[in-house]
Amino acid sequence: MAPIQTNTAHPLQRPANQEFLNSYERNQMPSVRMAANEMMYQSMAGQQMMGNPNLQQSQFVRFMNNVSTGNVLINDGQVSSSVWENRFDELEASSSKGKQEQQEQKVQEQAQKPEDDWAKAFEAEKQEQDEASDSYNKQFWERLQDEWRTLAEGEGKHPWLSEFNDFYDPFKEYKFDEENPMADVENAFEKGKAFLAQGDIPSAVLCFESAVKQDPENPEIWEQLGFAQAENEKDPNAIAAFNKALSFNPNNMPVLMALAISYTNEVLQNQALRMLIRWMKCNPKYEQLVPPEMLQAQESPVASSFMGGPKLQDVQELFIKAVQQSPTEIDADIQEALGVLFNLSSEYDKAVDCFQAVLQVRPDSSKAWNRLGASLANGNRSLEAVTAYQRALDIQPGFIRARFNVGIICVNLKAYKEAAEHLLTALNLQATSATRSGLKVNSMSQQMSSAIWTLLRMVLSLMSRQDLHTAIDNRDLEVLNREFPMSND
């Protein structure tokens, strides 16, 4: 979470720069549109079945009615107003006709002028054309803004997207490693926990995947798999594993908190807020603080349509009340949740205060040190962030996410060679886990994080080493390790 810029809500644990987020959005939008279309059809079908007049008044249904009547069009995932398009066509036609008439008049006038005035006439004509073009562009954008403003006032701020985003989750299915060298290992779960204690996160992941295939109804394995994947810089799989664990025990507070953080990393703010509300409701000490209407808004997409999803400020105030309930006591879980919330609102100095409070209670928590570093980095306090990340790595040398974060800090400081070395260290840790376990496997590319490869490619571009892009594409660590020899730290 060490961004190049800080004017947007950034992931809590993972560094976020604009290129990285743009890449994420490009990769995710096709699946978002597909899921949105499915949800729209389901909502319309539900309306017909229920015959509920209140549901017919929801913003989502009004939006879909406009689509069906042609007042609103969706082309390639973009919303447009057919009314605006018709007016634009009229404006364009009118402008073209006016330009043609002006051109004909110019020809007649030019024929009457002496030949020695041609240069002056040309300049005058060019100026008038520029002025006409500027006027046309101004009218075009004014009309565009007026029509979008009217559409927004009539239908709300893209209500179908708002309702969809409240409940959309693109990571429902866990994606197992296709080539798992631990597939036939006995007592895989216990061995996975042993690897995790040793700081060998990739090997722990492989063991947990093997164990959960052998015992898919064991919530503890899903939980440990989720925690391991979160530290392995693979939040999509962590989210899927955590949700599976919650399907067995919906009130698992550590999983709810971890899931909120992973959703934050994947820029799914509404889902993160929902998990934090659920976490507080499951806590006997604070459950009475959660307003009934906040719980009701979480029940279903229909309730969300009427009441809206959770608001960041409301959830922040909820957790601040929890702090005020015991002002002389530091509740590390509450402080951690507030740290997440202040990162979402880009109030990074406040997030730093929260994670520093957590560390007063849990001084040996590598996760807390990493999150402190992330908050410092998002607040443009890169040098302080390096110290926090290093502390996390001192406690847990195999912490892939912290190593990745240090790489981002180096990018921010324009120390590209050092960034490449840290990223390669993380990739090597992921790739060689099977070798360290005494197992042979043909390829470990599936165990290496695509996010790390993407960032490494960007770093090589910044170093003008496009000649190494082929090695990136081929996931060829051998070539890259020769180019960036590293010590065994």
As a whole number, mean pLDDT of residues 114-140 equals 62
HSE-CB for 238 with a 13 A CA cutoff: 24
d(CA 406, CA 485): 18
As a whole number, mean pLDDT of residues 68-81 equals 51
Residue 402 included in any domain: yes
Q: Are residues 282 and 182 in the same domain?
A: yes
Domain end among 250, 271, 287: 287
Contacts of 198 (CB under 8 A, 6+ apart): 398
Report pLDDT for 449: 75
Which of these ranges, 54-58, 73-77, 319-323, 478-482, has the smallest mean pLDDT? 54-58
Q: Specify whether the CB–CB gap between 63 and 72 falls below 8 A.
A: yes
Residue 71 included in any domain: no
To the nearest whole number, what is the mean pLDDT of the chain?
Answer: 74
d(CA 3, CA 131): 42
Model-level pTM?
Answer: 0.61
Q: Are residues 271 and 362 in the same domain?
A: no
Q: Are residues 405 and 392 in the same domain?
A: yes
pLDDT band at 451 (very low <50, low <70, confident <90, very high): confident
Q: Are residues 278 and 318 in the same domain?
A: no
Residue 324 included in any domain: yes
Q: Are residues 346 and 368 in the same domain?
A: yes
d(CA 260, CA 276): 6
Q: Which amino acid is at 360?
A: Q
Please write the tens of the pLDDT for every residue from 287-316.
999 998 887 666 554 444 344 567 899 999
Q: Are residues 277 and 197 in the same domain?
A: yes
Q: Specify whether the CB–CB gap between 169 and 268 falls below 8 A.
A: yes
Q: Which of 13, 6, 20, 15 is nearest to 349 (CA)?
A: 6
Residue 386 included in any domain: yes
Burial class from Cβ neighbours inside 10 Å (0-12, 13-18, 19+) for residue 329 reads exposed
Q: Which of 202, 220, 315, 303 is nearest to 264 (CA)?
A: 315
Q: Are residues 366 and 355 in the same domain?
A: yes
Please write the tens of the pLDDT for every residue from 235-291.
999 999 999 999 999 999 999 999 999 999 888 898 999 999 999 999 999 999 999
Count of domains in the chain? 3
Report pLDDT for 70: 53
- CATH number of the structural domain spanning residue 338: 1.25.40.10
Q: Is the per-residue pLDDT at 103 higher than 70?
A: no
Tell me which residue has tokens 């015959």: 51
Both tokens of 443, joined, read 């390829």
Both tokens of 92, joined, read 């364009």
Q: Are residues 280 and 184 in the same domain?
A: yes
Report pLDDT for 485: 85
Please write the tens of the pLDDT for every residue from 105-124.
655 655 555 555 656 666 66
Task: Provide the domain limits for residue 402.
Answer: 311-413
Coil, strand or helix at 10: coil
Report pLDDT for 145: 55
Residue 76 included in any domain: no
Residue 218 included in any domain: yes
Both tokens of 392, joined, read 């996390």
Q: Which of 416, 344, 404 is nearest to 373 (CA)?
A: 404
Q: Are residues 367 and 390 in the same domain?
A: yes
Q: Which residue has the higher pLDDT, 202 or 332?
A: 332
Please list the alpha-helical segments (H only) found in 156-179: 159-167
Q: Are residues 420 and 334 in the same domain?
A: no
Domain end among 222, 253, 287: 287
Q: Are residues 188 and 253 in the same domain?
A: yes
Residue 27 included in any domain: no
pLDDT band at 175 (very low <50, low <70, confident <90, very high): confident
Q: Which amino acid is at 344?
A: L
Residue 389 included in any domain: yes
d(CA 269, CA 261): 10
Report pLDDT for 171: 76
Going by the DSSP 8-state scheme, the letter that residue 445 receives in this structure is G
Please list the alpha-helical segments (H only) found in 326-399: 332-344, 348-361, 366-378, 382-395
Report pLDDT for 232: 84
Which of these ranges, 68-77, 345-354, 398-407, 466-475, has the smallest mean pLDDT? 68-77
Q: Which of 263, 324, 336 is nearest to 289 (CA)?
A: 324
Q: Are residues 205 and 252 in the same domain?
A: yes
Which of these ranges, 79-88, 428-437, 464-473, has the smallest mean pLDDT? 79-88
Cα 106–chain centre separation? 56
